[in-house]
Amino acid sequence: MDGVSPWSGLIQGRDGNFYGTDGGTGVVHCTVFKITSDGTLTPLWQFGNLSTNADGDSPLAGLVQGSDGDFYGTASRGGTNRAGTVFKITSTGTLTTLWQFGSLSNQMDGASPSAGLIQGGDGDFYGTTSGDGQHNYGTVFRIGADGSFTSLHQFVNLVTDGAGPNGILTQGRDGNFYGTTSGGGTNNNGTVFKITAEGTLTTIWHFGSLSNNMDGKWPLAGLVQGSDGSFYGMAAYLGTKLGGTAFQITTTGTLTVVWQFRSLPNAADGATPLARLVQGSDGSFYGTTAFGGTNGSYGTVFKLTVPLNPPANQISSVCVADTNIVLAIPSVAGETYQLQYRADLISGDWSNVVDACVSNSIGALLTVTNFGGALAPQGFYRFDITP
């Protein structure tokens, strides 16, 4: 009843519980579950409960919690057209199928969404399918919380577009969405692309463009935007050591390889990085490899430190999280950051936000919260910075 083979990671909901999916087996249907920090697990949904398998099957990717509090995800198979679904589910286990892939003529909506969704700044959700579309190379789509669906891009040209977008999208600070394809491109090694919310796609890198395949092949997991504004990702194969690469790429398409896997003695750094990087509060990036390491071929967990040169002391994002306001700022090591607030820019003084101060910063991206700040009708923020 609780399922088997959880492929994806967990997310922590605003209620403090953790939520995830499992992949199931040939005889056990997949589930959505929640689990408390002390290990109490509750299955919320078992796929296959709706007639004609309308809820889908095989949710390979994780969930995202929307601004409405519900959780949103994709099922890579099943549905009424056997092409996968998009669903939302409440924290108590009420599931609604929002979209059945294969519903548009000529499969223009795509099939097999193996990556998860992200919620854009406009409130809609954005995702990819790895198959179907006009030439079976995959699609990029937008879907609202009410199920309103728009196919934003059809990967139609194997050489210029790429094919098979398997990784989750990332929305950059410029408002565009950034992603990768696992195949296609001028060298059939995959690509990095950016796409607007209206569907204008630009390919900004073709893997295999550097000599000796130094940039790697098959970026499978998507990108993360670092505190310096550049994007960071990994290619699963090739590179000069044949174990894959970690790379940095700017919004304009300048790519720099920052690590060649199997570079350490005895391949201690591992090989074949399949999952997405995450940036820690210390500014370093953390990730895993599926193979390699000193104990044979069992994989590794690694920390990667890259000189970031962030645009220091400039607020990089302001987000609403329930009733709170969360601000991010690339910091300088050793400085103290006190968040300040005022209701307007005409009258009154800046006031310190209680419990929103970071002393002796370590020089990474800071996130500071004004608890209850979203309840105010209007507010302006700045940081008072002292060495």
- Whether residue 26 is predicted with pLDDT greater than 70 in this model: the reply is no
Model pLDDT, residue 226: 86
pLDDT in tens, 62-99: 999 999 999 999 999 999 999 999 999 999 999 999 99
> pTM for the whole thing?
0.80
- Whether residue 25 is predicted with pLDDT greater than 70 in this model: the reply is no
The rounded mean pLDDT for the chain is: 90
Strand, helix or coil for residue 223: coil
The fold adopted by the segment(s) 1-156 is Methylamine Dehydrogenase; Chain H (2.130.10)
Interacting residues of 32 by C-beta distance below 8 A, sequence separation 6+ = 19, 20, 21, 43, 44, 45, 59, 63, 71, 73, 89, 93, 95
27 confidence band (pLDDT: 50, 70, 90)? very low
Model pLDDT, residue 360: 78
Model pLDDT, residue 309: 67
Phi, psi torsion values for 98, nearest 5 degrees: -90, -30
Helix (H) or strand (E) holding 206: strand 201-206
184 confidence band (pLDDT: 50, 70, 90)? very high
Over range 140-153, report the average pLDDT: 97
Domain borders along the chain are 1-156, 177-194+210-309, 317-386
- State how far the Cα of 265 lies from the Cα of 282, in Å rounded to an integer: 26
Q: What share of the chain in percent tops pLDDT 90? A: 65
pLDDT in tens, 260-317: 998 766 678 999 999 999 987 677 899 999 998 988 788 999 999 887 765 667 887 8
Q: Where are the alpha helices (DSSP H) in 96-232?
A: none
Question: Is there a contact between 172 and 194 (Cβ–Cβ < 8 Å)?
Answer: yes
Over range 193-199, report the average pLDDT: 97
Q: Which two tokens stand for residue 256?
A: 């720099």
- Which residue shows structure tokens 């968040």? 339
Residue 10, beta-bridge partner list: none
Q: How many CB atoms lie within 10 A of CB 303?
A: 10
| Alpha carbon distances (Å) from 280 to 81, 215, 225, 365, 366 | 41, 24, 12, 9, 10
- State how far the Cα of 319 lies from the Cα of 369, in Å rounded to an integer: 10
Question: Is there a contact between 341 and 380 (Cβ–Cβ < 8 Å)?
Answer: yes
